[in-house]
Amino acid sequence: MEPFTSRNDGRPPKGWFNSPLDQRAEAFYKDNGFLVLDRAVGEPELDAILTEAADLCRNRDGLIENLPTAPDDLDDEAVMSRALCIHYPHKLSQLFLRMLSHRVIVETLTRLIGPDVKCIQSMMFFKAAGKPGQAWHQDEIFIPSRDRSLAGAWLALDDATIENGCLWVIPGSHKPGVIWHLEQHNDPRFDCTREARGFPYTAADERPVEVKRGSIIFFNGYLLHRSLPNVAKRGYRRSLVNHYMSAQSLLAWGWTEGINSGWQDFRDFVMVAGHDPYAYKGLEDLSKPYLRSEDSIHGCGRPSSRPPGRGNPATAVRGNPATGVAGR
């Protein structure tokens, strides 16, 4: 299989499509577990996101957990290079909130998982030169939909290359519908999120997905994927990643003492298409913005120092701290 790299001979590579998706694109997603919308978002919007992202990184109001407020005299470059990834930027910015329901994203998701679609998290990656990647994982282990509808929309805010730490995927790895177990790793190439192990794929099966700025990679929540460190001499590999799923599915994310997991339903999300069949339950404000832990110097062969809490449902380790997810 050839690498999924952006145009190198003037023709879109396999897996590259335009919006609205046609049946060929839908079939590709079903078979491979991902697809790319080539340069789907325009320059002015991308620039606006980057300006807002740099501003968020200053953490003026101190609302981003684990990120010290930047001194006023620090320039944008220095400010952005402090952060690997800020979780839930849409809780802090109207622009990031609007981006959840970007026309192209909604148009695509209603084809892939629609008609009722909710967004349950956003992440703004800065990943400056020298910052670590994220080890192999499937997003459904963190955000378990009932119907395997979870999908990431990964918007490249810089050209994403092998050198600066683009996404890697194992095409088709979503198909068996198996969740591979996670283990704590001690590999300084990656942030502290645990690593999926025991799957039957080898290095020959993995593919880099190099994309141009403005492109969006959509990927299935069962797809094994990872990213390597940014080994470029300078610059960033910035991306905005939002996670969506069918609103028809309940979401047992986190843990509430005394509530059966069968009716556990995480109600902190934004509807982006269709309607919410469980609207009668109302919404809650549960997830709080935080800076992802990277610890690339020491590796992660030890428990996260971040306490579990209702603020970070994806890191909730109630019941068994030894199996908790660090940094996600």
**Closer by beta carbon to ligand AKG, 218 or else 266:** 218
> For residues 28 and 217, is the Cβ–Cβ distance under 8 A?
no
Separation CA 254–CA 62 (nearest Å): 25
Q: Is 167 in the site for ligand AKG (CB under 6 A)?
A: yes
Minimal CA–CA distance to 63: which of 289, 298, 319, 250?
289
> For residues 272 and 101, is the Cβ–Cβ distance under 8 A?
yes
**Closer by beta carbon to ligand AKG, 54 or else 196:** 196
Separation CA 301–CA 202 (nearest Å): 23
- Judged by CB under 6 A, the number of residues near ligand AKG is 11
Shortest Cβ 175–ligand AKG spacing (Å): 18
Amino acid identity for residue 109 in this structure = L
Shortest Cβ 153–ligand AKG spacing (Å): 9
Minimal CA–CA distance to 324: which of 193, 198, 221, 137?
193
Shortest Cβ 253–ligand AKG spacing (Å): 14
Positions 232 through 291 that interact with ligand AKG (CB under 6 A): 239, 241
Angle, CA of 203, 209 and 215, to the nearest 5°: 165
Count how many Cα atoms sit within 13 Å of the Cα of residue 6 in the half-sphere of its side chain: 18
- x/- binding map, residues 74-113, to ligand AKG, per CB under 6 A? ----------------------------------------
Residue nearest to ligand AKG (CB): 227
Minimal CA–CA distance to 8: which of 171, 212, 232?
212
Q: How far is CA 285 from CA 110, 124, 268, 288, 315, in A?
A: 25, 19, 6, 8, 16
**Closer by beta carbon to ligand AKG, 74 or else 104:** 104
Positions 131 through 150 that interact with ligand AKG (CB under 6 A): 133-134, 139
- x/- binding map, residues 110-129, to ligand AKG, per CB under 6 A? ---------------x----
**Closer by beta carbon to ligand AKG, 33 or else 133:** 133
**Closer by beta carbon to ligand AKG, 122 or else 304:** 122
Instruction: Report the residue from 185, 225, 238, 292 that binds ligand AKG according to the rule CB under 6 A.
Output: 225
Chain residues that interact with ligand AKG, rule: CB under 6 A: 125, 133-134, 139, 152, 154, 167, 225, 227, 239, 241
